Amino acid sequence: MFGTSGIRGPVGDEVTADLALAVGRAVGVDADRVVVGRDARESGQLLVDALTAGLRESGADVVDLGVAATPTVARSVRPEAADAGVVVTASHNPAPDNGIKLWQPSGQAYDADLRETITERIQTDAADLRAWDELGERVHRDARERHVGALVEAVDLAEGLSVVVDLGNGAGGVTVEALQRLGCDVETLNAQPDGSFPGRPSEPTPENCTSLATLVAETDADLGIAHDGDADRMRAVAADGTFLSGDVTLALLAREAASDGERVAAPVDTSLAVDDHLSATGVTVERTPVGDVYVAERASEAGVAFGGEPSGAWIWPDETLCPDGPLAACKVAALAAERELTERLREIETYPIRRDSLETSEKAAVMDRVRERVLAEYDDVTTLDGVRVDLGDAWFLLRASGTESIVRITAEARDEDRAAAVFTEAHDLLADAIDG
């Protein structure tokens, strides 16, 4: 039922009011007060109403934040003295989808054990419904100001910038307010919340953000920012229109956040460029499974100063364990105000990465064969998420997709010929495993 990013799927098929009601009842078993919010998808109101009904039936009071960014909701759990937070969102997924994601008071998403507890309650109908005079109350609150205030307090800007913010018709308006309060001149794209995402697809990829990159390049803007539908993701564009890759963004933010002897959490598909850029300052990278939930779990450990995913999720554990796109936007703006991003980019050496996938209807069996062979033939192997082989000057990763009948191949080296050779090695290994 729950993936690493909560429940997600097509509305009316996998995600229904019945499911939202069941989740509300399950969370309400041991929660007295719950914060809820949603992104701009029209189906979100229906799902929030059903979710709230389940919570109130269980005796839990509900603080409804309305349309709000996911980090706004996650950051509100503790200040509202709540036991949990629930966001109705499908994040960067397309308009027909919606979903439900659960948050702890620390700002961290529900971990595997907590997700399993909720799943078991739903499957066994383990609700604790109350009598008519014990139902929970529902109050409506606006938490934007609290989030904006926290962002302004967390960031110092050397000088104001000209920033273009592409909100992708999502719920990330707190970014605009925070940057303006920090002294920036802000122009917006796709600023009207609309869950059909008419301006561009929700996911802030280079392909989906060409208008942003062009506008930044052709004006005197210093920076471009792009969010997804619930603003847990942030991607950036330098003044010359360069769309920063996820690995480069991770390297920039991590180097600013971490000091000598500290660690950074990043998933197994993160580039060697991040390790190399951070090693000069005595910072080490610790790999996690793919998914911001796993990055947040590692970031909660002592000595981990930052966590990030190249997909655009960035975590500062001293602030919150929720990926906070608006906070990331303000942090990038601070870097750009201190020194131009284009200059900073020249200091990060990037390497060739090859990616592909092969289809298979037997992902689990294929990955078992891959794992057995790799462990027998290679010395430095990680099986946190798929199978990752470290070759010293190169690496490759074979990882089954969580949603498609494919196994993904990623290979990277510090020069093109070596990357091609390692990719071929990984491709052939996977092809042999598929053939049995």
* Residues belonging to the active site: 91
Q: What is the maximal distance between C-alpha atoms in the chain?
A: 72
Contact 184, 157 (CB under 8 A): yes
> What is the per-residue DSSP string for 218-245?
HSS-SEEEEE-TTS-BEEEEETTSPBPP
> What is the per-residue DSSP string for 356-392?
EEEE-S-HHHHHHHHHHHHHHH-SSEE-SSSEEEE-S
- Length of the chain (residues): 436
The C-alpha atoms of residue 370 and residue 386 are separated, in whole angstroms, by: 9
Rounded to the nearest 10 degrees, what angle do helices 144-154 and 173-181 cross at? 50
Q: Where do we find the tokens 């042999």?
A: 432
Contact 124, 184 (CB under 8 A): no
The C-alpha atoms of residue 115 and residue 122 are separated, in whole angstroms, by: 11
Q: How many helices (H) and strands (E) does the chain have?
A: 14, 19
Q: Where do we find the tokens 């309060």?
A: 181
Q: How far is CA 415 from CA 349, 354, 385, 394, 420, in A?
A: 11, 12, 25, 9, 9
Q: Which helix (H) or strand (E) element contains residue 270? A: none
